[in-house]
Amino acid sequence: MNLKCIVTLGSRSVRLRLLALVRSLRATGCDLPVRVIPYNDDLCELPPGCTWWRDEALLAWLQTERAHPMMRKYQCLLQADYQYVDADVVFLRDPQAALAGAEGFVVCCGQWRDVDHALTAESRAVFEAATTNWPALLFNAGQFACDRPLFAELASLQAAAARYPGTCLHHPSHDQPGLNLLRLLSAVPLTNLTLPPTALESSWAGDYRQRRNLPPRSGPQAPYLLHWASPSPWHDSPVQELFLEHLTAAERQEWEQSRAAEKSGRRTSGIAERTRHVLRAVRRAWRETAPDR
């Protein structure tokens, strides 16, 4: 694969993550241009070497369908020679070198261990009909690369998505089941670098939360990127430093402030949810025990 660009999805809310992403890429020696698909209209100033990238016809179609904003990365499926990563990724090695010998649609994740988050009921039936080894065809939608378009034109992509709109267009939470199904429908072969014969170590930050050993930075099994996905980088663990090392002192302080606000918001949300649960239980008990009127 001869990479021509790095693609990500962004907005003002992930500005610090974008900075860390781009700086980690440059630290590997990779100077490829970075294209940023806008998640929404709340844009920010981008680092040098980055540009906002919009396919107006595709965005208009997705807006008409009221598709989740994460599905804007379908824009990649009409392109060739790119590496897509979500904003919560840092590069550990040069992706150009890591993917130099790869062909087709290439991923580096362990989603095959957690199939449910990559499927819907309708897409599971399609995968199971395709092969008994279908779990090996699943991937995390936060990082993938391809040397060819999955669809030759927007009309072909639209037709494929229209076959399974519940998965590809109207999933309420994210793009992952839709992107997996569209890759399968395209028939472009998939290679997962975490599986044999390559068998790279995990690229998911969550696998290193409880480990003293951080991901290897060199050697034949070293992952070339690290993806937080879930958990996010604000989790207190040594692996978090691989994200924070790309921020300045002032940016770290800004990140910690946002981290504290996020934690406070989660606590408030959790208390509110528990209160609602108790109130629902009380009302249900009252209805069950109250005398008929």
SS (H, E, C) 232-252: CCCCCCHHHHHHHCCCCHHHH
DSSP secondary structure code for residue 292 in this structure: P
Please say if the pLDDT value at position 114 is more than 80.
Answer: yes
The predicted structure's pLDDT at residue 263 = 72
The predicted structure's pLDDT at residue 284 = 60
Question: pLDDT class for 237, splitting at 50, 70, 90?
Answer: confident
Question: pLDDT class for 290, splitting at 50, 70, 90?
Answer: low
C-alpha count within 13 angstroms, C-beta hemisphere, residue 229:
23
The predicted structure's pLDDT at residue 87 = 96
Minimal CA–CA distance to 190: which of 109, 113, 117? 109
Question: pLDDT class for 124, splitting at 50, 70, 90?
Answer: very high
In terms of pLDDT, which residue wins out, 86 or 260?
86
In terms of pLDDT, which residue wins out, 259 or 245?
245
Please say if the pLDDT value at position 205 is more than 50.
Answer: yes
Interatomic CA distance for residues 37 and 55, integer angstroms = 9
Question: pLDDT class for 208, splitting at 50, 70, 90?
Answer: confident
Interatomic CA distance for residues 263 and 29, integer angstroms = 35
In terms of pLDDT, which residue wins out, 103 or 284?
103
Question: Rounded to 10 degrees, what is the CA torsion of 205, 206, 207, 209?
Answer: 100
The predicted structure's pLDDT at residue 118 = 96
Minimal CA–CA distance to 81: which of 184, 5, 187? 5
The predicted structure's pLDDT at residue 211 = 65
Q: What is the mean pLDDT of residues 36-52?
A: 96
State the burial class of residue 68 (Cβ atoms within 10 Å of its Cβ: 0-12, 13-18, 19+).
middle
Interatomic CA distance for residues 83 and 30, integer angstroms = 12
Using DSSP's 3-state secondary structure scheme, residue 84 falls into strand
Pair 80, 103: CB distance under 8 Å: no
Interatomic CA distance for residues 13 and 37, integer angstroms = 14
Residue type, 81: D
Distances (CA, A) of 90 to 64, 224, 241: 33, 9, 11
Pair 73, 84: CB distance under 8 Å: yes
Using DSSP's 3-state secondary structure scheme, residue 10 falls into strand
Cβ within 8 Å of residue 293, ≥6 positions away:
none
Please say if the pLDDT value at position 293 is more than 70.
Answer: no
The predicted structure's pLDDT at residue 234 = 47
| The pair of three-digit structure tokens given for residue 139, joined into one six-digit string | 């991937």
Average pLDDT across the chain, whole number: 90
Interatomic CA distance for residues 69 and 41, integer angstroms = 11
Interatomic CA distance for residues 71 and 85, integer angstroms = 13
Q: What angle do CA 62, 67, 70 make, to 5 degrees?
A: 95
Please say if the pLDDT value at position 278 is more than 70.
Answer: no
Interatomic CA distance for residues 96 and 1, integer angstroms = 8
